[in-house]
Chain A
Amino acid sequence: MTAIAETLTIDHRRCDDIFADAEAAVAKSDWQHGDPVFKEFSQALEHHFEMEESVLFPGFEERTGQTMGPTQMMRQEHIQMRALLGEMGQAVALRDRERYLGLAETLMMIMQQHNMKEEQILYRMIDQAFGDEALGLVERMREI
């Protein structure tokens, strides 16, 4: 009954770890390390969004008929985070340390409050809605 929450929470933490590495490198102005690690973070986050947007959310919406509910709110926040990621990419390209750190702090806040809502509420709802079939959903997300 917790397959989805567990899988995606672990993925959240994986993104957090890469985020912290990139931030630490940029803080030291170590762009040689910071640049590729930021790209790795960006890909990890985008992959996470992709799993949710193409498998998890549509599955939940289909099962419950709620298309304008919590999943819509989560999609909206994905858009907000993608915008920040884009700005961070520019800051990396320009080697603008201050701007990157300001954006990183901001992304961290929106990312974590977003994760809280998913981990505390949405994933639990989805696990509940799918019951034993949750594992199948996890398999489909793994294929992405």
Chain B
Amino acid sequence: MLSTANLSLEQAPPISIPLRFFLSAPLFGLAAGLLLLLGGGEVFASRWSAPALALTHLLTLGVLAMVMCGAMLQMLPVVAGSPVPRVVLSGGLVHLLLLVGVPALAGAFLTGDALWMAAALLALGAAFTLFVLVVGIALWRVTLPSHTVGGMRAALAALLVTLCIGGYLAGGMVGAWGVADPLLWTGLHLNWGLLGWVGLLLVGVSYQVLPMFQVTPEYPLWMRRFWAGGGFVCLSLWLLLGLAAERVGLPAWLPGLPLWLLGLGYLLFFVVTLRLLARRRRRILNPSLLFWYLGIALAVAALLLFAGGGWLPDAASATGSPLLMGVLLLGSALSFVNGMLYRIVPFLSWFHLQHRQLALLNMSVILPNMKELLPDRWANLQFYAYLAAVFAALPAPFAPESVSRLCGLLVCLSFLLLLSNLLRVAVRYRATLARLHAPIPS
């Protein structure tokens, strides 16, 4: 029996849906930079400081989740053949709720006000519940799931776990209930978010996009088949063992074991990725690839820090080391997302323009191609600004007073350049669209 009912190739959302996510993201990056610029050393004083929590969530939710949600709504029809139900309505709502919820959450951390936190929980809870629901429906409708779809399913499930733990912690902060061991739960929250939702999505999408766009050999079959599921199992075991250790006596090394396995798995994934990239047929170095290499370098550094954490001096590991780990992981994830934007935004703009052109049969207008929509030199400039921001952030956990403001300035610069690059594409898109619709001179 042939099941074609849910197989459709033409239900990509209108371009305004992904673009509104992509254009909003740099604004939150800019807000994070401003917070760093104004807050100075206080932000890096401790991972528990109010500005540190606000900054982290501006970046994870305002930038990372914003872009990842927009990209998934866009990509599902292409990579899975399964469009998101009611994508205009659901995508519009998710975006709006994030736009309200993220500033509310940052405000809640900065002011400690329970009302702000309640508003944030409501908006973000609604945003992600809706997102998980519609994307979940699309993903589980796929009848012949590819390895990428498998990775996406695992990532989405990890997002759900991250949100539940986040909500539980937030409830504890406003006194709705007591959280017995906030250190444990915070660790669970951020690892499920970064190593689960972000990491598993990266892995799943890489299986498909890296070999295709860089013309490399395929990822090994065993990796495609087992990695994402294995990663999810490691995270789940870590959660269960961590909670069990509170109640029953377990050997001290046991609860951390799954996390070590996961770390090894990621290391293996990045080594394989680098080997594939070394064998790529497309030898041209483009801005997206620079962001990829930076993302991999920072992730590998984070894994090495994790492995070597036990040998760091006590004074450093008490405050600086976890913060450095945060800088490396966030810097890595933001790098991948930033690089992807330079592929997807110019391409979507060109694609929709050409589609219009063929529909209107107005061949007198010459369409700008991707590199004319966004010249490499502008993307490269932003890459170097981002690289400088990362370099300034690396020593910040150990010398917060001296480099925090500089780092804030560079973060602002990097996201301003990203915003202006994306706006440049959007402006050229609109101008070309207007020319396409103008009457053809006879």
Interface residues of A (CB under 8 A from B): 16-17, 19-21, 23-24, 27, 64, 66, 69-70, 73-74, 76, 79-80, 83, 87, 98-99, 101-103, 105-106, 108-110, 112-113, 115-117, 120-122, 124-125, 128-129
A102 and B370 contacting across the interface, CB-CB below 8 Å: yes
Among candidates A17, A108, A124, residue contacting B213 with C-beta atoms closer than 8 Å: A108
B78 and A113 contacting across the interface, CB-CB below 8 Å: yes
Given contacts A64-B2, A116-B212, A121-B9, contact A102 B369 (CB under 8 A): yes
Chain A residues with CB below 8 A from B79, complex form = 116, 120
Residue B438 lies at the interface, judged by CB distance under 8 Å to chain A: no
Residue B319 lies at the interface, judged by CB distance under 8 Å to chain A: no
Residue B215 lies at the interface, judged by CB distance under 8 Å to chain A: yes
Nearest CB in chain A: distance from B105 CB, A: 34
Chain B residues with CB below 8 A from A115, complex form = 212
Given contacts A16-B215, A98-B371, contact A125 B358 (CB under 8 A): no
Given contacts A24-B282, A105-B369, A117-B81, contact A122 B4 (CB under 8 A): no
A69 and B4 contacting across the interface, CB-CB below 8 Å: yes
Nearest CB in chain A: distance from B354 CB, A: 5
Given contacts A27-B284, A120-B81, contact A102 B372 (CB under 8 A): yes
Nearest CB in chain A: distance from B78 CB, A: 5
Chain B residues with CB below 8 A from A70, complex form = 7-10
Smallest CB gap from B10: residue in A: A73
Nearest CB in chain A: distance from B216 CB, A: 10
Chain A residues with CB below 8 A from B283, complex form = 20, 24, 27
Smallest CB gap from A113: residue in B: B78
A23 and B284 contacting across the interface, CB-CB below 8 Å: yes
Known: A70-B10, A116-B212. 17 other contacts (CB 8 A): A17-B215, A23-B284, A27-B283, A70-B7, A70-B9, A101-B371, A103-B369, A106-B350, A109-B343, A112-B209, A116-B208, A120-B79, A120-B144, A121-B144, A122-B9, A124-B144, A128-B2
Chain B residues with CB below 8 A from A17, complex form = 215, 281
Residue B129 lies at the interface, judged by CB distance under 8 Å to chain A: no
Per-residue 0/1 for B331-375: is the Cβ within 8 Å of any A Cβ (1 yes, 0 no)? Answer: 000000000000100010011001100100000000001111000
Per-residue 0/1 for B277-310: is the Cβ within 8 Å of any A Cβ (1 yes, 0 no)? Answer: 0000111101000000000000000000000000
Chain A residues with CB below 8 A from B10, complex form = 70, 73
Smallest CB gap from B209: residue in A: A112
A105 and B286 contacting across the interface, CB-CB below 8 Å: yes
Within 8 A of A (CB), among B51-67: none
A80 and B354 contacting across the interface, CB-CB below 8 Å: yes
Among candidates A66, A76, A83, A117, residue contacting B4 with C-beta atoms closer than 8 Å: A66
Smallest CB gap from B214: residue in A: A20
Residue B80 lies at the interface, judged by CB distance under 8 Å to chain A: yes
Nearest CB in chain B: distance from A141 CB, A: 20
Chain A residues with CB below 8 A from B371, complex form = 98, 101-102, 105-106
A109 and B284 contacting across the interface, CB-CB below 8 Å: no
A20 and B212 contacting across the interface, CB-CB below 8 Å: no
Residue B46 lies at the interface, judged by CB distance under 8 Å to chain A: no
Alpha-carbon separation in the docked complex, A89 to B130 (Å): 47
Residue B206 lies at the interface, judged by CB distance under 8 Å to chain A: no
Nearest CB in chain A: distance from B368 CB, A: 8
Chain B CB count within 10 A is highest, among A20, A27, A121, for A121
Smallest CB gap from B350: residue in A: A106
Residue B146 lies at the interface, judged by CB distance under 8 Å to chain A: yes
25 A-B Cβ contacts within 8 A? A16-B212, A17-B215, A19-B215, A20-B283, A24-B282, A69-B8, A74-B9, A76-B358, A80-B351, A80-B354, A80-B355, A102-B370, A102-B371, A106-B370, A109-B213, A109-B347, A109-B351, A109-B370, A112-B209, A116-B78, A117-B78, A117-B81, A120-B80, A122-B9, A128-B2
Alpha-carbon separation in the docked complex, A121 to B144 (Å): 8
Q: 3 shortest A-B CB distances, which residue pairs?
A: A102-B371, A20-B281, A121-B81
Nearest CB in chain A: distance from B347 CB, A: 4
Within 8 A of A (CB), among B1-35: 2, 4, 7-10
Alpha-carbon separation in the docked complex, A21 to B215 (Å): 11
B281 and A101 contacting across the interface, CB-CB below 8 Å: no
B282 and A129 contacting across the interface, CB-CB below 8 Å: no
Per-residue 0/1 for B89-102: is the Cβ within 8 Å of any A Cβ (1 yes, 0 no)? Answer: 00000000000000
Chain A residues with CB below 8 A from B286, complex form = 105
B8 and A125 contacting across the interface, CB-CB below 8 Å: no
Nearest CB in chain A: distance from B3 CB, A: 8
Chain A CB count within 10 A is highest, among B212, B369, B372, for B369
Given contacts A66-B4, A109-B347, contact A117 B281 (CB under 8 A): no
Chain B residues with CB below 8 A from A74, complex form = 9
Alpha-carbon separation in the docked complex, A56 to B283 (Å): 33
Alpha-carbon separation in the docked complex, A59 to B263 (Å): 49
B282 and A23 contacting across the interface, CB-CB below 8 Å: yes
Nearest CB in chain B: distance from A32 CB, A: 18
A64 and B370 contacting across the interface, CB-CB below 8 Å: no
Alpha-carbon separation in the docked complex, A113 to B2 (Å): 24
Nearest CB in chain A: distance from B83 CB, A: 12
Smallest CB gap from B357: residue in A: A83
Among candidates A20, A66, A122, residue contacting B282 with C-beta atoms closer than 8 Å: A20
Chain A residues with CB below 8 A from B369, complex form = 87, 99, 102-103, 105-106
